[in-house]
Structure 1
Amino acid sequence: MPARGDASQSKTAESDLRASLLAMLGFVLVATAQVTNMILARGLAGAVPPFTLAFFRWTIIAAGLAPLAIAEVRSGRLPLRGNVLPILAAGFLGMFLCGGPVYIAGITTTAINIALIMSLSPIVVLLLSRIFGLERIGGLQLLGMALALLGALLVVSKGHLRTFVELRTASGDLLVVVAMLGWSGYTLVQSRVATSATLLARIAAFAAAGALFTLPIAIAEIWRAPQSAFTSRALGAYLFAGLVPGLFAYAGFAYLGTRFGSVRASIVLYLGPIAGALLSWAILGEPPTLIHLIGGTLILGGVWASLKK
């Protein structure tokens, strides 16, 4: 008959294993939810007006998280006075630049390219932090940056670096680079806006600002082609974009950060391109090429080396 201590240790081990498996499942689900936006961009390939899609995505996120934001505004944790301009800046960088342009990019580039280029954001954040004196960069980080940059050049040029030098890359890839730079700026700005507020309350404010910036272009798109903006396919895309890579992804990432800490939550960065490649293959029939594998390995290895500290 086993001793009580042995039985207790066995139950503890089983509990730890169960918790670990649930945690990993959570990371996989959040990473998958995030990259579905890239799959959506490629799958639609311009069939739905891009800025209209982005407008409804941010509107759904802002509306869904509004109760949290309103409660924190009333309690003083999310003070609007003194934060309006930073909120607008975060909304422009993270939501406007990472909204419509990504959906336009899906017309001429693949979902795998979008995922890999967006995964460069931590490198840019680190570089900007160094420029503004917020972070020191060591030798390992410099090596990581060089590897990630080389991987990005391979992906964008499709292995023909001469085409990159001659600026004959796909326009979609260049749009994703703009979106990635915007997201990098957003990452730096958002962490300094109303720091006493919760992440989800701040995201509600940023999403509302992003919807505001996107609205004029969305109105122009609807005016030009209302038949494209209000089809059943378009309405389904709006709901999906707002709920899956929207509310679920943001809420899931916020939970992971609260539950496991921001450092461990960054694991999602490494899972994203993998999930994107698998979904692109399964849903869009676009398998990763050898260049994607080599470039992706260099990018993820470079990001890992840069963030290892």
Structure 2
Amino acid sequence: MQASRAGSGRIDWTTLFLLTFPPLSWAGNAIVGRLAAGTVPPITLNAVRWVLAGLLLAPFAWRGVLEHRAALRRHAGVIAAMGVLSIGSYNALQYLALTTSTPINVTLIGASTPLFLIVIGALCFRERVKPLQVAGALLCLVGVSFVLVRGEPARLAQLDLVPGDLYMLAATIAWSAYTWLLRKQRPDVPLPVLLFAQIVMGVLASAPVTAWELMVQDQPLPWNGKVAAILLYVATIPSLLAYFAWDRAIARAGAQLPVFFITLTPVFAALLSTLLLGDWPRWYHGVGLAAIGAGIWLAQRR
């Protein structure tokens, strides 16, 4: 990432768009994943999504892959881990979560990523944890727990949770581990090259699971206008365009400010769910979002 080239910190309209576009895209991805439930198997949807994204990216990345092949070989283990955690695990688990959970729940749980970043950083990378980060992490935990129990603390005793919520928790942990690898061991190669290499590794790693899912489903992947639109969206906007916009946003605004814009994802998901799915937000979604947002704000304070 090129955060060092961020200017004086003043946010212009272009930077504001680059910061806002990815959360909107990821909220749309949650809506589309919900629409695909029952039509396209979740793990298959993830595999086809990234195969298409890789094919679209290949003309722009292939020359760089050849130029940096020595570095890619040298960091093959790290790139494989990144591909499995992000392409193979996070996205597949998110689509799997959306088969039983709602886009609002999924994006709210995903917004708790800073909590798991702190925990994984302290346990695996010996990162120093500051008191404000602990307080912020606890607030995030309260917000996520409130959403998981649907505003009814008595559910904690009954462990009456939707499976999709647990899948999304696992996805969030995988993404947090991927983020630490990206921060600590990112190979020094251009972004298109790194993304293409991760796609290849992630697709290869998920191929056996995808094949198993198709065998269990015992039905061919349906091909119609709805499926084509779903695949076109997930292969382009949240996979490629949002990724590049996020990279440019960090280069312009630095590494800290974009974290706050992640909390817009559940807000956009709530709006899109209401407009497209008729799925109105509940009061506990607002409480959870407020707690998560406050926790992230507190943890990021110097």
Q: Among residues 25, 41, 57, which one is paired with 2:33 in the alignment?
A: 41
1:231-282 per-residue CA deviation (whole Å, 9 max, x = no partner) reads 3322322111111111111111112122222223333312222112211111
- When residues 215 and 232 of structure 1 are mapped into structure 2, their CA distance, relative to the original with a 3 A threshold, is farther
Unpaired runs of at least 5, structure 1: 1-17
- When residues 218 and 235 of structure 1 are mapped into structure 2, their CA distance, relative to the original with a 3 A threshold, is farther
Check whether the contact 2:137–2:296 (CA below 8 A) recurs between aligned residues. Answer: yes
Task: Compute the TM-score of the two structures, normalised by the length of structure 2.
Answer: 0.88
Matching residue of 2:95: 103
SS of 2:210's partner is helix
Q: Radius of gyration: which is bigger? A: 1
Q: Is residue 125 of structure 1 aligned with residue 113 of structure 2? A: no
Deviation, 1:119, is 0.9
Separation (CA, whole Å) in 2 of partners of 1:119 and 1:231: 33
Greater displacement, 33-42 / 174-183: 33-42
Matching residue of 2:259: 266
Separation (CA, whole Å) in 2 of partners of 1:226 and 1:235: 17
Correspondence list, 1:181-220, <5 A: 181-220=173-212
Separation (CA, whole Å) in 1 of partners of 2:186 and 2:284: 42
- When residues 191 and 204 of structure 1 are mapped into structure 2, their CA distance, relative to the original with a 3 A threshold, is farther
- When residues 27 and 133 of structure 1 are mapped into structure 2, their CA distance, relative to the original with a 3 A threshold, is closer
Q: Is residue 31 of structure 1 aligned with residue 23 of structure 2? A: yes
Q: Is residue 302 of structure 1 aligned with residue 280 of structure 2? A: no
Check whether the contact 2:133–2:300 (CA below 8 A) recurs between aligned residues. Answer: yes
Greater displacement, 180-189 / 27-36: 27-36
Matching residue of 2:6: none
Aligned-pair identity in percent equals: 27
Q: Is residue 286 of structure 1 aligned with residue 272 of structure 2? A: no
SS of 1:114's partner is helix
Correspondence list, 1:1-309, <5 A: 20-76=12-68, 79-223=71-215, 224-309=217-302
Separation (CA, whole Å) in 2 of partners of 1:297 and 1:248: 29
Tell me how large the CA RMSD over aligned residues is: 2.2
SS of 1:168's partner is coil
Deviation, 1:138, is 1.8
Task: Compute the TM-score of the two structures, normalised by the length of structure 1.
Answer: 0.86
Unpaired runs of at least 5, structure 2: 1-9
Matched pairs, number: 292
Separation (CA, whole Å) in 2 of partners of 1:237 and 1:38: 11
Separation (CA, whole Å) in 2 of partners of 1:191 and 1:138: 19
- When residues 198 and 165 of structure 1 are mapped into structure 2, their CA distance, relative to the original with a 3 A threshold, is farther
1:178-210 per-residue CA deviation (whole Å, 9 max, x = no partner) reads 111111111111234443213332122112211
